[in-house]
Structure 1
């Protein structure tokens, strides 16, 4: 069971595009991203204020830099074992210090990465996930002034512990429900979470934003700490309350133009230079379990996929419905990280747009003429090219055929001059079909010239003067940057023309004229059609591989390979997360420039 079974056209699905990546690949890639991510230091300190309006907290945030200047030192520098008689602690008491925390988002580097649990676990079903929030650095301080229970000073840091502090949340990634957590976020935050830029919307940076913003549902547990320990109590009291508060007040403002979505780190997705062939207009998420051969969900959670459900052209987003196939075959889990599927109709319309301009060059309008006089009958024929645009028609007949086109034109002429008379019918028909099968696009074209000539001496000739059938198979591929490639095989041309030799009496009666006419007509039309059918291959390849090439979205995020058509003609490609190193970016940029493709590599900050 794999993406080759994708059938997005089925009425119960209807998504224009789906991207599914495994839990294992998301975690491996996100850990690499967070190891290299150097977020801004985020500091909050609070002082105690006795007289506040009713209903307001006595703990008031104060400016960190100004407060340090007032104190003459940094509260975070006071060691954990400082006594209440310490001069600096006394100064904190005099300036009503309450508590504070200092943190940087990212992955802690003081612990082996292999010991760190998954950042995201797809274990909740539907659109909910378990999310482990890590911090690269973390320090919390708290002052309890003297009283009946005695005072104390606490200064604890993650680095001094045996294991990192991990905050486990349940996050609802449902971006569709009217009463979802996401629906209650400010509109500008929603637009940042539902990033519809094709190049960056699938990046782990964007997913990291979604995890921290889209819908934190529950008060988290803190792994590796006893719920009765001081650090647990103060992390809950200080950090988590302010974390949730930050999530609720992360909209843009005059003092915060970017919105501090991640405690000091602002996500800035960019759409500049994207050349994807489809433009997403709506997005939702869904979790897919890994199914066994009978279609039953297993507990192979690393093979579960997070699915981006995408709509285009402002089509309405259908409700999430579980797929009946796996996006990644477990046997191939080391070869690629996920799959991208484009609904049959999306690619069919694209292919029709690309191929239709080639049609009119194969369309001719026949003309013929008969002139009879007292002593002879003369026949003339010719044609002109069709100049108006011609278009393929979309086919949904349950077969692999997706496009068809028929063109027919007729010409007739007759004349009588007793004792001579004659008539001629000159008909032209072109039929071409396009099929999507496996890794191929197959075109089958048949061009026919039918001729019927009568004279005073009877039927001179009748039949398919010229009939050729051409079959060309184009093998599709995809390069690393999401550009579809097409290689055409040699056209297989069959001559299906009838034997059009006039009978002996016709040759004698016309003094050999009709014999020469038929041969000239046949040779001319056959030669023209052979040239067209041979050139048809080159025109199609040029259009598909040129400036109008199909480009998969996600070029900043994925390396693409193994393009193919599913059993239901969805366009499918395997995807692997790209390593966002400077070397890789430079290599990708150089190769793109050499290939002269339309897609543009973004800055390193935008690459996932």
Structure 2
């Protein structure tokens, strides 16, 4: 049950596009970012007043009053250390010093997942870690001052704060909907180049609910620092991030934009323009469609709408976007709904239809100005492209057949009495073009028929001077930046030519006074020119369009590296994506 099952056209889904990234890839990329992140260090110090109430004290003010940096006082000191005694005289209670990033002095396998997709369809578990974390605490134990200077780097495992985070941008009672419209717009970040980067992953810091606090070896649960660790540190930590993250679009710093990614080359404009976004978590299901506990392959799904289409409710998918055998190959999958890609294909290729939509012209008349019982005939024959705008008809019959085009025209007339029963000519032309989306192919089957009928005084001849079927398989691919690549399978189309040559018999040659031979020479030359100019070149024209200025470009070219492209069994366009290497930035200078 893989992305080959993708069927976004089902009524319960209806999303124009889905980008699904696995929990494993989100965490690998986030850890890479945190490892490079040059975050701001922040320090919070607190003292008691005369009524034993806790108040913040400026770090620089404290250092000046103490005459030293309290973080330089070794762990385990007592009042015998003058600096400890002086801190007590100043009413010192506790202090925190932290820097955002990946914890130092620990192996990667000792650092848990930053995000776990284990809370249903809209909630996730978010684990806050710090590159450096120190806690100072001054307390009385056994009637003596006890000084604690505890550093995360000296612990057996990093300190971790666990939160529940709401990613639902649609729920009317979520904190997201209470943000200003401009802030909501920035959170959704509908820029197709960057909207899928991890820094745009919405973390609702105002509603993050602390689920568990870290175990800090060396602090007792009754210590003031431990008690206030959750009450004060977390609030101040997020407040610090908010202040660093404030901007004109984000005046309160209510959403977190952690890092940016730098593409190796500029990308072309995306072929799809998002107008709405929501998130949903999908579990990894077994062969029976039952959710498993394989959280690494759970996916965070970006649900995207275009052209201001209504965003449907989030509904869990029946298939897995990434299978177990694929988890090391890429980060996730991007799927474009069949109807969206078919509309693009129709708009792109429709202009090519005029070249094969030919209006036939044919007529015959007598040279009545000549004397004699037998008067020669005058024949005209031509075909010109119809300039009326054309388009394919969309097919929704549950098969790979997605587009169909039909065109037919007739021409001809009967001459007046020349000799015997006179003459009649017909030139009928029809063309069909059908497009199928199968596996990694866009299959185009074009059939053109030009039927000729000629009669002169009981002598007649007819047949299909053009009876051409051209089948072209365009192999699709994608380059690293999300640009479609198209080639013709085996370098050429398959042509089935059932055309016939029409020649006059002796009676027609006699009855037309020899003029029929010139007519058929002209006719065959014209047919050859039609084949060369219109029918035979149609496959190359389509190839040029598919690879030209209107080439399909997947969104996310500044966030992902793309690999493979194919159509699902239900004709959704699917490609695999891998996060690019993140480049850290400060919050103020992102």
**Whole-Å separation in 2 of the counterparts to 1:487 and 1:273:** 21
Mapping 1:175-574, distance limit 5 Å: 175-207=169-201, 210-211=202-203, 213=205, 215-222=207-214, 228=221, 230=223, 232-243=226-237, 252=246, 259=253, 275-374=269-368, 375-417=375-417, 419=419, 421-455=422-456, 457-458=457-458, 460-489=460-489, 490-498=492-500, 500-574=502-576
Which secondary structure does the structure 1 equivalent of 2:343 belong to? helix
For structure 1, which segment, 239-248 or 123-132, has the greater mean C-alpha deviation from structure 2 after superposition? 239-248
Q: Could you give the per-residue CA deviations for residues 540-589 of structure 1, whole angstroms, max 9, x where no partner exists? A: 2222223322111222222221211000000011222233479xxxxxxx
Alignment match, 2:119: 124
The residue number in structure 1 matching 2:372 is: none
Tell me the distance in 2 between the aligned counterparts of 1:87 and 1:310: 63
Distance in 1, matches of 2:17 and 2:340, equals: 9
- RMSD (Å) for aligned C-alpha atoms: 3.5
Q: How does 1:133-212 map to 2 (within 5 A)?
A: 133-142=128-137, 153-207=147-201, 210-211=202-203
- Mapped to 1, the partners of 2:249 and 2:282 lie a distance apart of 41
CA shift, 1:261, in A, is 5.2
In structure 2, the CA distance between the partners of 1:335 and 1:266, relative to structure 1 (3 Å rule), is closer
In structure 2, how many angstroms separate the alpha carbons of the residues matched to 1:554 and 1:5? 23
8 A Cα contact 1:167 1:223, kept in partner: no
In structure 2, the CA distance between the partners of 1:62 and 1:395, relative to structure 1 (3 Å rule), is farther
Paired with 2:529 and 2:586, the residues of 1 have a C-alpha distance of: 55
- From the superposition, tell whether residues 464 and 273 of structure 1 become closer, same or farther in structure 2 (CA, over 3 Å): closer
Equivalent position SS for 2:382: strand
Q: 2:41 maps to which residue?
A: 41
Q: 1:452 to 1:528 in 2, by over 3 A?
A: same
Match of 1:197, SS?
coil
Q: Secondary structure at the match of 1:292?
A: coil
Q: Is the 8 A contact 1:186 1:251 kept in 2?
A: no
Moved more, 419-428 or 472-481: 419-428
List alignment gaps of at least 5 residues for structure 2. Answer: 369-374
Q: Distance in 1 between matches of 2:248 and 2:580?
A: 36
Deviation by residue 1:27-49 (Cα, 9 ceiling, x = unmatched): 22222221122212123344556
User: Matched residues in 2 for 1:552 and 1:216: separation?
Assistant: 33
Q: Secondary structure at the match of 1:416?
A: coil
Q: Cα distance 1:410–1:182, how it changes in 2: closer, same or farther (>3 A)?
A: same
- Structure 1, residues 192-239: CA drift from partner, whole Å, max 9, x if none? 4322222222223333xx246385134433256688274543422321
Question: What secondary structure does 1:501 align onto?
Answer: coil
Q: Aligned with 2:313: secondary structure? A: coil
Local SS of the residue matching 1:122: strand
| Counterpart Cα distance in 2 of 1:256 and 1:393 | 46
Q: Displacement, 1:303? A: 1.8
The alpha-carbon deviation at position 342 of structure 1 amounts to 0.7
Moved more, 168-177 or 545-554: 545-554
Distance 1:128 1:201 in 2: 20
Give the secondary structure class of the aligned counterpart of 2:214: strand
**Match for residue 597 of structure 1?**
none
Q: Verify the 8 A CA contact 1:260 1:266 in the aligned structure 2.
A: no
Structure 1 pair 578–552 and aligned structure 2 pair: CA distance change class (3 A): same
2:107 aligned to which of 94, 104, 112: 112
Whether the 8 Å CA contact 2:46–2:57 is kept in 1: the answer is: yes
Which segment is superposed worse, 434-443 or 131-140?
131-140
The structure whose RCO (Cα within 8 Å, separation 6+) is larger is: 2
1:234-285 deviations in whole A, cap 9, x for unaligned?
Answer: 42232123346568888846899693856xx866799996622212222212
Give the distance between the partners of 1:453 and 1:418, measured in 2 at CA: 15
The range that moved more, 119-128 or 432-441, is: 119-128
Cα distance in 2 for residues equivalent to 1:537 and 1:604: 51
- Give the Cα separation in 1 of the matches to 2:248 and 2:114: 33
Matches of 1:227 and 1:344, distance apart in 2: 60
2:97 maps to 1:102: yes
What are the superposed Cα offsets for residues 384-406 of structure 1, whole Å, 9 maximum, x if unpaired?
23334322222212221111222
Contact 1:246-1:261 at 8 Å conserved across structures: no
Alpha carbons 1:502, 1:515 under 8 Å: kept = yes
Alpha-carbon offset, residue 438 of structure 1: 0.5
Offset, 1:9: 0.8
* Number of the residue aligned with 1:579: 581
Please tell me whether the aligned partners of residues 453 and 461 of structure 2 are also in contact (alpha carbons under 8 angstroms).
Answer: yes
SS in 2 for 1:396: coil
- The 1:286–1:156 alpha-carbon spacing in structure 2 relative to 1, beyond 3 Å, is same
* Equivalent in the alignment of 1:599: none
Scaled by the length of structure 1, what TM-score is found? 0.84
SS at match of 1:156: strand
Contact 2:289 2:319 in 1 (8 A): yes
